[in-house]
Amino acid sequence: MSRAELRRLVADEQQRLQAAGLVAGGTLAVRVPPSLGCIVAMLAGWRAGAQVALLDYRLTTFEVGRAIARLAPQLVVEPVEDVTGRLRGYFDVRTRVSALRGGRPAETEHVLLQLSSGSTGPSKVIGRTVGSLLAELDRYAQLDGFPRRGERTVVLASVIHVLGLVGGLLHGLAAGTQVVLPGTQTFDGILKAVAAGEEPTTLLGVPSQAAVLATAQNPPRLPQLRRMIVGGELVKANVWERFTRGYGAELGAMYGMTETGVIATDLHGSTRPGLTPAPGMRVRVEDGHILIGLPATPYVGAADPSRFVDGWLRTKDAGDLDEATGLLTVHGRLDSQVSIGGLKVDLAEVEESITALPGVTDAVVVHGTGIEAFVTVSEHGVSDGLADSLATRLAPYKRPRTLHVLPELPRTPTGKPVRNAEILRAAVRSATSA
């Protein structure tokens, strides 16, 4: 689609929203799957001067109702028909606009509202201002290795969440990059999207998608694939090795948050695990805790007052900042450090040890009454010897008390593995009864 055609569609949608009652300073919720309809509704809301809240289309009816009650939008854009397809990357949908009783005008200057991923707890309402979004786009424009005019970005990350939205869609519109949403996010669908154009191509997604691509024994030759850039969680060493060797392309990493957008990067995979803070980002580490300098709190409504103090956002991520090189190393969540019998255990280390075992494709480790591991394996027989294999790699106090094998790990809408023990146990019960 050309820019001229996109502008025409946005202008038409703006008229439809205004006819439904949207005015400057009004509020609009968009709950549409990745599609032209989603993009047009969002851009039209901004052109009308509204505050736009993006809701994931995969939320349940209960979750949508709870989000609407928190955000109180005046209008909502939704698909006319129900949509299905867990691995769909792009949908062809018709949308409808509905006015909501009890909706309120914008109470803050934020133009974008998003809900945090909820991977470790209840979602928070996060607001971004025009200045915040423009500053992030400027950071992307300065990153060596990020797509430029004349190149293509195949966006696997959801365009309603921060990586796909700003790093994929908005950067593409600002920089003149061709933005591609693949029809499906299966192995074949992703590679088909890459092969569809000859321009230098970047894949933008999450580590679990890189892991899927890395499973190929004999990947096809794709000379246009320059690199894949992933964010959202740490890239496992075996995934990095298999991907870069198999495709002859770089696998870069980004660290960011919904609250801030991109924070630090290693787009070429040359400084891993260290990351270079993005231009203009103020980053420091205090007692192993990563802090980000921001001009104002990113939270809208009720929030933990300890998260943003004196201009610094407490990320709740553990890390180190090397003063000599300036590289930031992210170790994972601070709450991954637990005490077992008075001895400190890093759950991230346990996870890494499990995923390094032959046949293990993914793992999440949590701590409740003891250490529990939830794993996926490449074939059924692999699970029989996991406990014995771990006994040679981890001290007894670090080993999981229980190992659960799942067909797939529960994930948030952004692709992060869920780390809520109750949700993980419910997945085990569901898999057992199936």
Architecture of the domain whose range is 130-333: 3-Layer(aba) Sandwich (3.40)
Report d(CA 163, CA 157) in Å as an integer.
Answer: 6
Give per-residue pLDDT as tens, 64-95: 888 898 899 999 999 999 887 777 889 999 99
> What does the domain layout of the chain look like in residue ranges?
3-107, 130-333, 341-433
Exposure string over 285-317, b if 16+ CB within 10 A, otherwise e = beeeebbbebeebbbbeeeeeebbeeebbbbbb
Q: Where are the alpha helices (DSSP H) in 176-287?
A: 187-195, 207-214, 237-247
- What is the pLDDT, as a whole number, of residue 412? 79
Which strand (E) or helix (H) includes residue 132?
Answer: helix 130-142
The fold of the 341-433 domain, in CATH, is GMP Synthetase; Chain A, domain 3 (3.30.300)
> Which candidate, 192, 193, 191, 189, places its Cα nearest to that of 179?
193
Residue segments in the chain with a per-residue pLDDT below the cut of 50: 119-121
- What is the pLDDT, as a whole number, of residue 120? 44
- What is the pLDDT, as a whole number, of residue 118? 53
Q: Which residue has the tokens 């981890």?
A: 394
The answer to whether 135 and 228 have CB atoms below 8 angstroms apart is no
Report d(CA 97, CA 80) in Å as an integer.
Answer: 9
- What is the pLDDT, as a whole number, of residue 353? 87
Give per-residue pLDDT as tens, 5-46: 999 999 999 999 999 999 999 999 999 999 999 999 999 999
Q: Do 3-107 and 341-433 agree at the fold level? A: no
| pTM for the whole structure | 0.84
Give domain 3-107's CATH number out of 3.40.50.980, 3.90.550.10, 3.50.30.30, 3.40.50.300.
3.40.50.980
Q: What is the largest CA-CA distance in the chain?
A: 67
- What is the pLDDT, as a whole number, of residue 369? 78
